[in-house]
Amino acid sequence: MTQQPTDWLSMRIGQGIALLLSLRLQGAPFAGNASDIEALCTGWLIALQTHPTAWDQGFDEARLEIGFQRLANSVTRWPSPAQLFEHLPPRAAQQPTPSITRQRTPEEQALAKQTLENLKQLIKKVKI
């Protein structure tokens, strides 16, 4: 199974949303179960995909990570996707870092599944 072009973008958004949810910001959306979190991530993915940016993993994966970190550092209320764009660093002038796309090993897949399950359980306990 090969990685889809938006898999890295979905994963980066999911990690950013998890960071924001962990901060328990005012106005945070209810994320009491996995379907709530999935819907939230899907909304952000749609917002980013419809932005006039041709997302490129080599150029943008690190930018998104930094953008979410900067956003988390600067907000006290739940942000909109538009606020993320204000916190993205500019694209580097050099060529993008080549992305290495490979299949996840069964161990990596199991770890990713367990990590998601742990996040779901944590959110159930926190009841944002």
pLDDT in tens, 83-125: 999 999 998 765 555 556 667 788 888 887 787 777 777 777 7
Instruction: Calculate the CA dihedral of residues 23, 27, 32, 33 and round it to 10 degrees.
Output: -90
Q: Which residue is associated with the tokens 């990596």?
A: 108
pLDDT for residue 1 is more than 50: no
Verdict on whether the full-model pTM lies above 0.85: no
Instruction: Tell me the pLDDT of the chain averaged across its residues.
Output: 83
SS3 state of residue 26? strand
